[in-house]
Structures are given as C-alpha cells and as structure tokens.
A and B are shown apart, each in its own frame.
Chain A
C-alpha cells in the first residue's frame, strides 16, 4: 500500500500542522510520496527532502498563493491524481478542511477528518476520531480506497530533519476562471489578540464574571481589567463559555474583547493546550467538551460541588475569582 502526504505552505513555509501530518505519515511505515501546494512549495519540499519520501510533487502557481476553495481543490486534485496512492494523509488546517472533502467527492475517494491516531496493521490503515463533539471515541478502518485522512493538529510530533534537494516535480493544473478573490486576512490588533494557539495555558472565563458580585453590584469593567492583565502577564490564550459570549450578541453589557471566536465547547473550539484554568464557569457537560484535550486542568469556583469541576478538573480552588486573580496578577507582575 502506498501513501501520499499532501501539505500546503503558509507564508512560504510548511506550518507546524503540516509537519505533524508528515510525522504521522512517517510513523505508518508505508512507502509514501509528498505533494505540496502553495507559495514557495518547491522550497518547502527541499526543507523536508530527507523525510524518506519516494518523490515530491508541487503546485506553486499564483492561483494557490492564497487559500480559496476552487483553486486549492483543483491543485489538490491534480497532486493526488499524479500520485496514484491508496491513502492520502493531510493536515486538518482551515485551508485543507475547506477544500479536501470536496476533492475527495470529486475524485470518488472516501474521506475522514479530525483523525487523532493513525496506525498501519496487517497492510491496512486504522484510524481514530471523536464523534458527538469529543464525547465518543471510535477506532475504524475502511476497505474502500483511495482513502483521505485529515490529521488533527497537536496530536503528533512534528517531523524534524535536515533539508536537502527534493527535486520536486511541478504538476500542471487547469484552474479555470475564479469567481472568488481573497482580499486579505483580518487579525486583531496586537494588544487585542486573545487567541494564542501556541500558548501553554488556556484561561477560560465563564459568565460568572458578568454577574452581580457579593456587594450586589456588577463589576464588568473590573473583570475585564483582571482578565486582560492576566492574559498579558501569563501569555495565555483566552477561551469562553457560550453563555458569556452570547451576552454580547444579545446586546447585554459584557466583556468587550470577548467574541464567539473565543468560545470553547459545543459550538466553539476544542483547543489543545498543556494547561487550562477555568474561572466562573458553571458545571455542565458542554463546558467539559471544550476541555477534552487540556492536559492539566484547574478551576476557580465558588461551588466546590460544581458538576463541571468535580471529576473533570485536577484542582478546584473554592473562592472569589476576582480576589484570587487580582492577587495572581500582582504576583505575576512583581
């Protein structure tokens, strides 16, 4: 069985998720070739030239300089067809999550996404992924080939090795006429950036920050100051419960820097960080969904019997989050 590792560049180089997918493919022990699309694809192939691939193919046309469904799908389809492999392994990035399922449909392939484990046994590939928003884990395989698998980021060690001369083959692609133009990337201002995927710590703020406190008053401005000070001092990423971000869309006063982008859980993200500190979150299973892949979990909660905290966090600090976090900030800044 032959595998094909499909990668893309980002800002002219392979992103970490691509190297992780390559690492996963190397671990299968199957013969494989590598295809790369995007700006600087040939140079990116040279960067992984010693990964053990039997060959390299690239698409480095101006049409794939930016992520876009139609052009990415055309390029990916051409690369996959040029390889003729039975298994295609790719990273679960936003770019490939957009286009590769469509490519699979176009080429008559089976496709599975969010793969968290890959293994080759007795000449067959076996995979694992979660269902029902990280509640049920399944191991499975498919008899039908070719089979495309998108590997989740953060579960495999990135491939590491020396660069070399890949002598990649350029693959010609008929892109056709595009109806979509990428106009740019919108990033939050540097001082407003609260989502940091590479951070070691995820700080989750719950709706309790915006409720009446012990003095019977709201302290939303103070809450915002405490949270932002902590994020800056600890270089943490900010997550939120759904109930907190919903306040904003419902027109209620809440933390101005919080958006649905920060949301973790059922309709939010399921980030992977080494540590997670939750504050003012109330205990429901959906909150735990967003924390499935946090290795070390601690919580500050007024209720020691909170259903979220019991059995799901390693440590629960029973106390007032305002008071505790202000003291944490003072220590971090001292």
Chain B
C-alpha cells in the first residue's frame, strides 16, 4: 500500500437512460436509431468503479488511476467534459463502437491491449476496475475476459467494498443472492474487480480536477487507436422493443379504506411463503 496502486478503470459511455431506444439494422449489425446523436452518460456501474478507484488512490500515496475507454472519439470527447471533473485520472482512449450489440470478446481484447500498452504500468500494483455489467450489452462478461488476457488469477464480481491493508492485501465484499455478501480476502494485487454500486456518492464537479485531467485527455483522444470491434460471430435474427403498454385502470376519488381492502385482497391472493 505504501508504494501505491496502479488502478485501471475500464468504462465506456451508454445512451442517457432517459432516452427512448429504437433498434435499427445497419450494415455492421444491429444498432440504435440516431445512435451517433443520442446523448450519452458514463456507464453507471463503471462510474461507480471510477469513483471508488479515485477514493482508493487518494488513500494510498503514490497511486495512479487510468480510465481506459472504448468509444467513438467524438462522443468520448463530449463525455469527458463532465466526467473529467469528477475524479483525477489519465484517459486511455480506444476508438471504436460502444454499442451494446458488439461481441464482448473483441471489446475485451481491445481493452486488454490498451492496458498492456500503458507506459510504466506495474502489474504487481495493478487493480483493474470496471462495472459488473454495462448498461448497453449488460452481459457482465468483459472484465473476466480481460482478467484472463492479462493472466490475472483473482477476480471479484458485484463488488460493493474493498479495504486495502498496509501490507497490500485486501478484503472484498461481493454481492450474492438474497441480499447477502460473500466476504473474501486476497493476498494483494494484481486483481480484477467488477463493481456494483459501491458505497460512495457521485463526487461533485471540480473544475480544478477537470483542468488537470484535460491536459491528458485531448492528447489521449488524438492518439486513440482504432479497434475493430463488431458483432463477431453473433447472428442476430430479431432485435425489437417488445410492446409493453398495459391498459392501466386508474382508481381515484375512492376512500383509502376501500383501496386498502382491494390491495389486501390482491396481496392475499399471492402465494406467500
């Protein structure tokens, strides 16, 4: 811990969740209508990973955080205007599709190549962070593939907490079924952690942090290597937004007693364990 950690956060952009998404066919496979124009946000779980990384780096002197992001350069530049003010990091940009229909294997290879190419990265201090799944592909497989590509033996999924000890070992809480946590201890870096929400709030914007980050962001975007990620071997047959509209019955101007009775009858009809 005293020598610091090298924390690499893998995270990309996803459409703003308030946007309506409509799938369309493209020559490269399925995509989203007006995908290039859709407002984007940092992938939420990856965002939590970034905030946890920055917090961890602050506690360990000599630590450094990189954000490795695979996305179209122009959209990434827009996103950095806000994300760069949240936490100190050095951007490593990879130019390619951030769409949800791409095959995770190609994405993992591009991310692993970008990590391995980071100058001065010390694998003995390396923690790779990311979200437990993206809000686009939502598969939860990419970081395990990166883990294997990097030859790292320890992986943790759905992490909400890491506590690093002075000797470099750390304890982790991973989400498991039923609202429980699996508690583990690890001998130390290198390791890969796929974060759930963690426990930190979103940091406030800091213009000072943003200015410092920007010194690296523009050069990183300029030298972003293209990555040929695509649908890979997936043969999509149908991609659709299923009709979900229900005929909603509005119950209003009815006494609370009557509403309560109806709810109790409805709840009671369930097979309560």
**Among candidates A104, A234, A263, A317, residue contacting B197 with C-beta atoms closer than 8 Å:** A263
Determine whether the beta carbon of B135 is less than 8 Å from that of A266: yes
Determine whether the beta carbon of A304 is less than 8 Å from that of B250: yes
A318 interface hit (Cβ, 8 Å): yes
**Among candidates A111, A138, A286, residue contacting B17 with C-beta atoms closer than 8 Å:** A286
B245-267 contact mask (Cβ, 8 Å, vs A): 1 or 0: 11111111110110111111011
Determine whether the beta carbon of B180 is less than 8 Å from that of A180: no
Determine whether the beta carbon of A141 is less than 8 Å from that of B179: no
A113 interface hit (Cβ, 8 Å): yes
Per the bound structure, the CA–CA distance linking A137 and B30 in Å amounts to: 12
B172-186 contact mask (Cβ, 8 Å, vs A): 1 or 0: 011111111111111
Determine whether the beta carbon of B154 is less than 8 Å from that of A69: yes
A81 interface hit (Cβ, 8 Å): no
Q: A186-B183, A193-B179, A324-B256 are in contact. Are A112 and B105 (CB under 8 A)?
A: no
Interchain pairs with CB closer than 8 A, number: 287
Helix, strand, loop or mixed for chain B's interface? Answer: mixed
B138 interface hit (Cβ, 8 Å): yes
A297 interface hit (Cβ, 8 Å): yes
Residues on B with beta carbons closer than 8 Å to the beta carbon of A181: 184-186
**Among candidates A110, A130, A179, A185, residue contacting B182 with C-beta atoms closer than 8 Å:** A185
Determine whether the beta carbon of B263 is less than 8 Å from that of A298: yes
Give the nearest-CB partner of B194 in chain A. Answer: A98
Determine whether the beta carbon of A185 is less than 8 Å from that of B181: yes
Residues on A with beta carbons closer than 8 Å to the beta carbon of B105: 105, 110
B100 interface hit (Cβ, 8 Å): yes
Determine whether the beta carbon of B241 is less than 8 Å from that of A136: yes
Give the nearest-CB partner of A322 in chain B. Answer: B256
* Additional A-B contact list (20), CB under 8 Å, known A289-B17, A312-B245: A70-B153, A99-B155, A101-B142, A105-B108, A112-B139, A114-B138, A138-B238, A138-B240, A141-B235, A180-B184, A246-B201, A249-B200, A277-B267, A288-B244, A311-B245, A313-B248, A316-B250, A318-B250, A327-B260, A332-B267
Interface size of A as a range: 35 or more
Per the bound structure, the CA–CA distance linking A277 and B256 in Å amounts to: 16
A246 to chain B, nearest CB (A): 7
Per the bound structure, the CA–CA distance linking A313 and B199 in Å amounts to: 31
B220-244 contact mask (Cβ, 8 Å, vs A): 1 or 0: 0000000000001111111111101
**Among candidates A180, A268, A298, residue contacting B186 with C-beta atoms closer than 8 Å:** A180
Determine whether the beta carbon of B183 is less than 8 Å from that of A184: yes
A167 interface hit (Cβ, 8 Å): no
A319 interface hit (Cβ, 8 Å): yes
Per the bound structure, the CA–CA distance linking A176 and B153 in Å amounts to: 10
Determine whether the beta carbon of B196 is less than 8 Å from that of A260: yes
A271 to chain B, nearest CB (A): 11
